[in-house]
Structure 1
């Protein structure tokens, strides 16, 4: 059972990128990749984060782990706001937050042996001696289903699934509290994906890990997550328990995402149609509700006023003026 106290609390978090402009730096476009996110991650839970490519999921993850400096907002980690911390004062928190990257081929240095790859976090943190670090590497390899003999090999000698296991071993080497899984299975064969997900669940039980699991695979996130957040154009538009999100999706974007999941039965009738159009540019975000340009329920209110992320019952949050209304279920806005 998870502790209800949040390990991570994000409050009005922004990450903007300034693009182009003239020689004096004027008239530069601003790409609002993360644009006012409020989110809690409870200790011991797996929080899934889904959305289309370009919605800001990976930028949010990299900002949370401070690979990117946030533009504004608070990032509370175990009660401490790590957003304004310098690299020196941030150092004690680095070992408590680790990341598993999407591409196991790009995330491992091909010139380093597996032993050096996994031991590197221990060396940076100045933990142990060369001998104890090697023993720790052997232990971690066994824990992720690899052989201690693999420690002397190089990354290019392994399959994609084995490389991702090496990345996972490296991520848990320092016994972190939070592990951010940024689409950790999307580059793997389908036959390997379930093995890796099951291993992540076993490690969570054994080590008491907290996961932020980012993915575009709505079927997989349902399997692994306790709660699921839906992100669109830099903001969270819906957040609910695993069960609630799939049984009663309340934001039109969530309903459209679920409608896009392939069903192996052509006679099954969809309750809602897949969304239309493309996601707008984060440089030119629509006024009011960000989803209104693709939403079948959009009204003048949606263009004039951005809906807040509000509780529509039982901790189910949705950012839609019509969330929870009968109009949402019938497909006709009032």
Structure 2
């Protein structure tokens, strides 16, 4: 009895360790698919702070997929989904962190998670991407993993690994620096409008540089249409240095999507389907920075308003020097003189 119990325990532990079915482990008929792929680059994928990946499990799963072994795939996929979401996030992130689009056959969970994976890869931080995977139910997590494994099964593993290394070694996206910091470090007192006690009735909007906006549309990395506003200087002092000083928008080269900041609001009035302004809302809920205010009411084109109503976010980028020039946006991006943010839409 003791001998049989010990054999059962060893079989159970072997099944847990290898991912094989208990019956196979007990009968000694487990098998492996060799050679196992080299997944040593997998930890470079941003998959969540302090998360330890099971590279052996990941390699056996990828090998089983490449060998088209359905029994092993089913067992190992269940094990990863139930027990190791960090390894799942890394396997999926290696694919969707680099791909510009997920493809028409991708599941809904993959379509929703892919932009988060791209942001994680670009920023080198995977906590948000891991949290999203960790919050998925088992069906959604399995769908994401199966979509990713299709790529691992069909593609060259070494090419995927090289893509991960290239993305990990790329410099992180720059954040704009405040040009006034140099004066502050030199001991020069810097005053802003917030420091001034303005008389009643004085509108601070007209005391700071202002911008105009041009309506555009763009596509997200996963191919979804998105409304876009391009800023151009409308008063003296407006430009790249002013935006760097007054916002924390990132330098954007027209690749991927800039960060989303819900504190930046594009105000839209439902009654006449018009845009009212672009403002930054402070911690107290009051309007702080105001970059653009509509000088007159102009109803938006129906197709643009419908897109705005559906997406409820706007990609805001600028400044461009000549808004009428169709190549101005690309020129600003190529010159490193383009800042951008994804703002929320506030309907009033």
Give the TM-score, by structure 1 length: 0.26
Q: As a proportion of its length, which structure holds more helix?
A: 2
Which has more radius of gyration? 2
- Greater relative contact order: 1 or 2 (C-alpha under 8 angstroms, separation 6 or more)? 1
Q: As a proportion of its length, which structure holds more strand?
A: 1
